[in-house]
A and B are shown apart, each in its own frame.
Chain A
Amino acid sequence: MSRNKIQRIQDSVHGLMEFSGMETVVVDVLRTPELQRLRKIRQLGLVHLVFPGGEHSRLVHSLGASHLAVRFGRHIKEAAREFFAPVLCPDETVIRDLAVAALCHDLGHGPLSHAWEREMVRSFDRTAWSEALGLNPNEPALKDLKWHELVTQGLLAWEDGQLHQLLEQHEKGSSTRIRGLLSGQYDIHYIPRLLSSDVDVDRADFLKRDTHQTGVAYGRYDLDWLISTCTLGKCRHGDNTSWVVGFDRRKAIRVIEQFVIARQALYETVYQHKTVRCAEGMVANLLRRLKHLGGNFKMDVAGFVKPLVKIIHGEVLGPHELIQLDDFALFVLIDNVAHMTKQDPTAADLAQRIISRDLFKIVPVRPRQLDLFLDKPDARQILYKAIKPFCVGEPEYYLVEDTVEFNMMSKDDSTKVYLIDVENSERQAIPAHEDDALRQYEQIKNFSKRIYTIPGAVEVVRKVVEQA
């Protein structure tokens, strides 16, 4: 296959994205079915029901993250030359690994990721899934992974998969190295922070992309400045010091501030928009209903939807079935269910409402009041009884409870962002949330509860909550 030394891809957000030399492997990886599945999964799930432009796929986001991994990687490669002997500096193999890892970081997401994770894999049998994915359930690195992270590991390790074979064909052991990089294990220990921290290539891309696609004006920050201030510093842990990736304290404070505020704004206005969360909750309710009905609900669906049905029925899937899970399969399933009124009116009604965007409405009560009410042991039974007259089917599926949480800055050692005092010869790295200029954002944590129900029952629910 003939190829150019530089592979160019035009992007609506970053403009011309160039991958050169070893980085061009990104284009080969992109062609594998494991990656192509992401073309059929929307990055923002059901956000497009509110912001119609938010239709972009996880594939384009992953590609953008990969492009930024290259840009950050090249910058760190140059920065490292000042502090390390050539043999220990990141080289183009490291940049290639970073680019591939960034491209694969969302590999395991299910259809409509957030709705999916809310219901289908909130608590999953880690051992059974690990085994189905061909992973060793006792592998320490898998212990705390979320479902989609576990699937990512499984798809990279899948020996019959094109992705694994391609990576191994390029270099034996590279699939294992990419898996390690995605779970924070890499020979140059400061590199994984570029993929996973408060300011990383994932967030750097999705803030820009989601802002651009949804049309909101809040998610803007100076990406070029951010990259140019990225550098290396030393972090003290007790008696030891280690090198970390961070940002030049003299130059980067405002851009870091811009970045975290942009993220907060997008969470508040887009990702946790009440209608978006309501729609996600309704899909989760429908999936829960289908799970509850199990084999009693006979679905005659196309082959590519069957893995979805299996997982709804509680079965675990192997990698070859997982790569058939996407938004389109889920919407085909919802569409099928919408026509199966006779089998189960509840499921059919929920499906029809999702298809026709006839969504539940938020109940206008103060979050604190709602929180207190829902703490009562019989709260749900009271609500179900109140809304029953308005429901076509079982009332427990006509109520969506929503808890929104948001932390502006992480305190976790592995994900917090560092500011580097470059004027000091020790190049001390301090966590950004400990800096006077950014300390205020450490305190910002959003936590609130919301509840949604069918439009006719909103007033009844409001009264029940307020009078309780």
Chain B
Amino acid sequence: MSTSITDIPAKARNLTTLGDKTTKATVQFYGISQKTLFNDEEKVDLSPLGEALIATNWSDTQAAKLIDAYHELTLAGRVTNIKLLARWAQFHPDDADTVRDCMSVEPPDGIEVLQVLSRRGSQKLVFLATWRFRQQEVVLKQILAKGEHAERIFSRELQPHPLSMVHPNIIETHFLQNRKGEKFLVERRLTEVLDDNWDAGGVHEAANLLFDMAKALKFLHEHHLIHGDVKPDNIGRRGSNYVLLDFGICRDRELFTHEATPTGSLRTRAPELFIEEEYVEPEKVDVWALGATVYKSVTGRFPLVKVEESIPRISNAAERKTFEAVLKERVQKDWCNWVTLGGVPQPLKEVLNQMLTRDPKSRISTSDLIRTAEHELSAFLRSTSPAGDSNGRFSPLDEIGQIESYLTALANNVSLIPQYKRQSIYHRIRELETKSFGENEKERISRLAAVLQ
């Protein structure tokens, strides 16, 4: 079947400005797909996609690859809304593979993919999405593994699921299936996820991080679960609350063995996991990891690791094994020089001292940790309900108006707003954004978000 540029409808010819490869792919698409799948009169209008690709400077090669992918998926029966495709293309400039991920996934009913957030190794594909039913932005996780392996991942991730609905410091997780029966995890979206560079900026935030996470861990431990991978990357913030994430290696305490630990982070790994002893109290592994995380947030390093040391990735088994040996040696021979509280601010010293005890039997439990923190850190702990939740007194529109007035009174000088509060307001704006508003309100919300960022 011969095809030519005249097969491209006039409106979609903007794609040809991207280059020869894109032109060829477009000609191919209109020459075959159109005649195969649609009536000639109802030609698919690719012009919005063309505009998006041009606006975000796509290269000819990637644009052609994207159109080929769209073509291929269309032939396979996957129908994608062009405006949605254009939005994905804008979110992921010059990255045809990632846009293809957006196209390929068939989310559960009521969920619309907005963009890819990350590919977590080979196990999960993570999307930002909207959930119409909840009028919320959510994180949609597609498990890439198949068969038994996938089932194992699900069962681990979902262990805290029925509980999370009632705990403000554990990520709210839902289990959904699409029409094909493929399984997805849906988590409430958080505006911030911590990382190793996160600095608590003083005792105030560090104390609240410690307290919120201690409450989450106590909740898990009471249900005989061990998180097993507490570290900055697995902690998020919702408003002014800290929330525990990623239950990928969460296990029942009875199943928590040496074999379970290698996937956990080395930088927050408890000392008993380096030296082969029996786990008498596996809950204490989480306590150590939380202590190490808080320690990092106030001193700039993890207790057993140098500031400048980089941790080998899990994919690099040889280097990782060597580094494990180094850490083991530090635990066994040089403990006192590594786990020092000299740089820890005074109010946190007592609590961290009890959390970072080498012997797990002497290490503080989460219940005692909460009591001690309430006692030692009362000057720093927030007691308000999760910031951002409306008390139902005000409509979303009222709230937008109030936030506008608040920022206007500050002459948009956001430096006067404490960091945690700015975060809470930003988070609330993002929540409000998912409500059914008109364009005018959406613009107002975007302006507010821009000011706060």
Contact = CB atoms under 8 A, between A and B. Distances in A.
Interface of A: 1-5, 20-25, 28, 81-82, 84-88, 91-93, 168-174, 177, 180, 185-189, 242
Interface in B382-408: 382-385, 387-391, 393-394, 398-399, 402-403, 406
B202 A171 contact: yes
B428 interface: yes
Contacts of A189: 409-410
Given A85-B398, A85-B402, A185-B416, A28 B378 contact: no
B347 A81 contact: no
B384 A91 contact: yes
21 contacts: A3-B378, A20-B378, A21-B381, A23-B379, A24-B378, A85-B391, A85-B394, A85-B428, A86-B385, A86-B388, A87-B425, A87-B428, A93-B382, A93-B420, A168-B202, A171-B203, A171-B204, A171-B418, A177-B418, A187-B417, A187-B421
Q: Which 10 A-B pairs have the closest CB atoms?
A: A171-B204, A172-B201, A5-B378, A171-B202, A24-B379, A187-B416, A187-B417, A85-B399, A189-B409, A87-B428
B345 A87 contact: no
A287 B445 CA distance: 61
B375 interface: yes
Which residue, B204, B389, B390, has most C-beta atoms of chain A within 10 A?
B204
A348 to B, nearest CB: 49
Contacts, number: 114
A22 B382 CA distance: 8
A2 B375 contact: yes
Interface of B: 201-205, 239, 345-347, 350, 374-376, 378-385, 387-391, 393-394, 398-399, 402-403, 406, 409-410, 416-421, 424-425, 428
Nearest to A89: B384
A72 B36 CA distance: 74
B418 A93 contact: yes
Nearest to B400: A85
Contacts of B201: 171-173
Contacts of A172: 201-202
B346 A1 contact: yes
A28 B202 CA distance: 15
B152 to A, nearest CB: 40
A416 B406 CA distance: 22
Contacts of B202: 168-172, 174
B184 to A, nearest CB: 30
B382 A88 contact: no
Contacts of A23: 379
A170 B428 contact: no
Contacts of B389: 86
A69 to B, nearest CB: 16
A403 B115 CA distance: 73
Contacts of A24: 378-379
B106 to A, nearest CB: 36
A186 B416 contact: yes
B378 A87 contact: no
Contact of B418 (A21, A81, A168, A187): A187
Contacts of A22: 378-382
A88 B405 CA distance: 10
B378 A21 contact: yes
B394 to A, nearest CB: 5
B383 to A, nearest CB: 6
A82 B393 CA distance: 8
B404 to A, nearest CB: 11
A93 B381 CA distance: 9
Given A4-B375, A185-B416, A169 B345 contact: yes
Contacts of A173: 201, 418-419
Nearest to B199: A172
B350 A2 contact: yes
